[in-house]
A and B are shown apart, each in its own frame.
Chain A
Amino acid sequence: MIEVRNLTKRYGDKLAVNDISFKVEKGEILGFLGPNGAGKSTTMNMLTGYISSTSGDVLIDGVNILDDPKKAKANIGYLPEIPPLYIDMTVEAYLGFVYDMKKCKLPRKAHLKDVCNLCKIDDVRGRIIKNLSKGYRQRVGLAQALINNPPVLILDEPTVGLDPSQIIEIRTLIKKLGKKHTVILSSHILPEIQAVCDRIIIINRGMVAADGTADEIAKNITNEHKMTLRIEGPTHTADDKRLIAEKIRAMDGVKYVRADMEREKGIYDYDIETDGKTDIRRALNKLCADNGWNILMLQLSDLTLEDIFLKITMDEGLSKSDDKGGKSKPRIEIKTTASGKLRAVQEDDEEEESSIVDSGDEDTAADSAENNGGEE
């Protein structure tokens, strides 16, 4: 339905959007995620033909938006970041204007009524837009995008300025629309994207940093699985800790084990990272049973969308994750926050960990120990 090929936009020296390519199939809801200034709105403006691209093509239903703008635009309903409302018109008059402008052939009264019902603006149809609240304006903006039932809907931050119940309403509405329309929506609100979208594209610094469902992205970013275990040893001393950690480390598929703080008296937590291919839980259970240890807790801690987002947007070297040199630098930067620091320790293998400790002084090392405890 929508095809974007090598889309690039340059403002003078500044590269706003850099070589973005993706495809959206019919009936898909695609979420555009990215920090402020990542190029989300610029991309959307190019998709809708508001601005042109420096290079690259946008095909809407097979029609290039620059070659045949009228035909391509007829298939798009666009809600820009700021809804394009004429504030001195009434809602009714404004929607009538959009209806005329889009040369809509659907029966006028019935269609406008449907759209108003869908966006729940029936009660304000006679009011002047100037006097409407932000939430209502946003909904009128959505209504104008829906006029003429375009097969493609492009919504730039559709829930900005709405109250929580309205946000839920709009999300439900978008989901409903997604059954018949192809929807692209942008947001920097992660739960929203996760709740609504089938597929996510994360944009950072004008480039596609990740593309796929939340799970796929998580898998691509890290092929490791993490879990936290609480194991009770026989002696309730630090000797347990050493022994258990050692034995787990010796298991197949385990990449990294770290004994954490003493959670209950004489009982320790262990952070384990696996290679992602082997599910070690059963083997682990057996190991504990054989040794007479008791598993008191097992918790899988895979990356959430938020982790992914932070990782991508803060970690420049994502695409070259093998390049350790490139990776370690932002990790040291992340270290300023407690959670970031924890992650830095978690994700590095021992060799790298020691290099971080080396680079800092004893304070850093002590700090990290403290934070690891504080995190839980």
Chain B
Amino acid sequence: MLAIYRREMGAFFTSGVAYVFLAVFWLVSGIFFYNGVIASGFADTSSMFSSMFYIVMFLIPVLTMKLLSEEKKNKTDQGLLTAPISLWDIVLGKYFAALTLFVIAESIIFIYAFIINYLGDVVWQTLLGNYFAMLFLGAAFIAVGLFISSLTENQMASAVVSLVAIFVIYLSEMLVSNFENGNFIKKAIYKAVSSVAFYSRYVEFTRGVFSLPSVVFFISAAFLFNFFTVKVLEKRRWS
């Protein structure tokens, strides 16, 4: 797993994906930081964090698009699948490489905290709560992206489908929001969708509420999609 992790980290930087990802992430989060904190004069970071959901949504597919699709296209997966390692090693190595890059990008927040420190008092509780919330959200989305990358040989298709999938996950609650007061079936749908919703769980954190069930939810989602990815690789072998 470590070998794959290291290679994947190297590939992020040699292929330039890492630079694009970091640059865009930091640029856009910088804008949100300026608008939400500096320009408005509040030391409260929660509005900034709720906007950052969108960066995560748009940038995760960039990070995950080539992880497995390119392997399949270049036939390098033959090297991995015939090596004496398990499928979990392959999937988790790639997963944690993407997650590491995401954490690096996200940690820009501590620089913002440093800036806020000069202008006023940092509300560490909200800040740290949000930091971890975004980390868990990213962890779940990366697993989704990795899973979709395992389904196709085409990087662009992988990126677009991941984006759509993440967008659907985000929108799902809004689509069913007026089902809440409908008949039995509508209520059931509403309940089912909102119980697997990502956005409201994330927003909960931005309001400063640290909820353990949501953390468990995101971690389970990440695990589930990595599990699916392993199954896809396994299935390809059996087909």
* B75 & A84 in contact (Cβ 8 Å cutoff): yes
- Residue B195 interfacial (CB < 8 Å): no
Q: Which one of B2, B3, B75, B86 lies within 8 Å of A82 (CB-CB)?
A: B75
Interface-facing stretch out of B7-15, B113-121, B140-148, B181-189: B7-15
Take A73-B83, A100-B3, A101-B4 as given contacts and tell me if A51 and B237 are in contact as well, using a CB distance cutoff of 8 Å.
yes
- Residue A182 interfacial (CB < 8 Å): no
- Residue B216 interfacial (CB < 8 Å): no
* B14 & A84 in contact (Cβ 8 Å cutoff): no
List residues 50-91 of chain B with CB under 8 A from any CB of chain A: 74-86
Q: Collect the chain B residues with CB atoms within 8 Å of residue A98's CB.
A: 79, 83
* A85 & B85 in contact (Cβ 8 Å cutoff): no
- Residue A103 interfacial (CB < 8 Å): yes
List residues 63-104 of chain A with CB under 8 A from any CB of chain B: 69-71, 73-74, 76, 78, 80, 82, 84-89, 93, 97-98, 100-103
Chain B 1-45: CB-based contact to A (< 8 A → 1; otherwise 0) = 011101100110011000000000000000000000000000000
Q: Collect the chain B residues with CB atoms within 8 Å of residue A97's CB.
A: 3, 6-7
* A70 & B10 in contact (Cβ 8 Å cutoff): no
- Residue A18 interfacial (CB < 8 Å): no
* A87 & B74 in contact (Cβ 8 Å cutoff): yes
- Residue A22 interfacial (CB < 8 Å): no
In terms of DSSP, what is the predominant structure of the interface of chain B?
helix
List residues 194-232 of chain A with CB under 8 A from any CB of chain B: none
Give the docked Cα–Cα distance between A87 and B11 (Å): 10
Q: Shortest Cβ distance from A187 into chain B, in angstroms?
A: 18
Q: Shortest Cβ distance from B145 into chain A, in angstroms?
A: 20
Take A73-B84, A97-B6 as given contacts and tell me if A50 and B78 are in contact as well, using a CB distance cutoff of 8 Å.
yes
Chain A, interface residues (CB within 8 Å), range: 20 to 34
* B238 & A88 in contact (Cβ 8 Å cutoff): no
Q: Shortest Cβ distance from A85 into chain B, in angstroms?
A: 7
Interface centre among B75, B80, B86 (most CB of A within 10 A): B75
Q: Which one of B14, B15, B85 lies within 8 Å of A101 (CB-CB)?
A: B85
Take A50-B82, A89-B14 as given contacts and tell me if A80 and B2 are in contact as well, using a CB distance cutoff of 8 Å.
no
In terms of DSSP, what is the predominant structure of the interface of chain A?
loop
Give the docked Cα–Cα distance between A57 and B102 (Å): 43
With CB as the reference atom, state the residue of chain A lying closest to B83.
Answer: A101
Q: Collect the chain B residues with CB atoms within 8 Å of residue A88's CB.
A: 11, 14-15
Give the docked Cα–Cα distance between A213 and B196 (Å): 64
* B238 & A100 in contact (Cβ 8 Å cutoff): no
With CB as the reference atom, state the residue of chain B lying closest to A11.
Answer: B239
Take A80-B75, A100-B6 as given contacts and tell me if A48 and B11 are in contact as well, using a CB distance cutoff of 8 Å.
no
List residues 95-131 of chain A with CB under 8 A from any CB of chain B: 97-98, 100-103
Q: Collect the chain B residues with CB atoms within 8 Å of residue A87's CB.
A: 74
* B11 & A84 in contact (Cβ 8 Å cutoff): no
Take A86-B11, A88-B11 as given contacts and tell me if A78 and B78 are in contact as well, using a CB distance cutoff of 8 Å.
yes
List residues 33-58 of chain A with CB under 8 A from any CB of chain B: 45, 48-52
With CB as the reference atom, state the residue of chain A lying closest to B16.
Answer: A88
Q: Shortest Cβ distance from A58 into chain B, in angstroms?
A: 12
Give the docked Cα–Cα distance between A71 and B2 (Å): 19
Q: Collect the chain A residues with CB atoms within 8 Å of residue B74's CB.
A: 82, 84, 86-87
Give the docked Cα–Cα distance between A50 and B238 (Å): 9
Q: Shortest Cβ distance from B225 into chain A, in angstroms?
A: 23
Give the docked Cα–Cα distance between A52 and B237 (Å): 6
Q: Collect the chain A residues with CB atoms within 8 Å of residue B15's CB.
A: 88
A-B contact pairs, 25 of them (CB 8 A): A48-B82, A50-B82, A52-B238, A69-B84, A69-B86, A70-B84, A76-B82, A80-B75, A80-B82, A82-B74, A82-B78, A84-B74, A84-B77, A85-B76, A88-B11, A89-B10, A89-B11, A89-B14, A100-B2, A100-B6, A101-B4, A101-B83, A102-B83, A103-B84, A103-B85
List the 5 shortest-distance A-B pairs measured between CB atoms, nearest first.
A84-B79, A100-B3, A74-B84, A101-B3, A73-B84
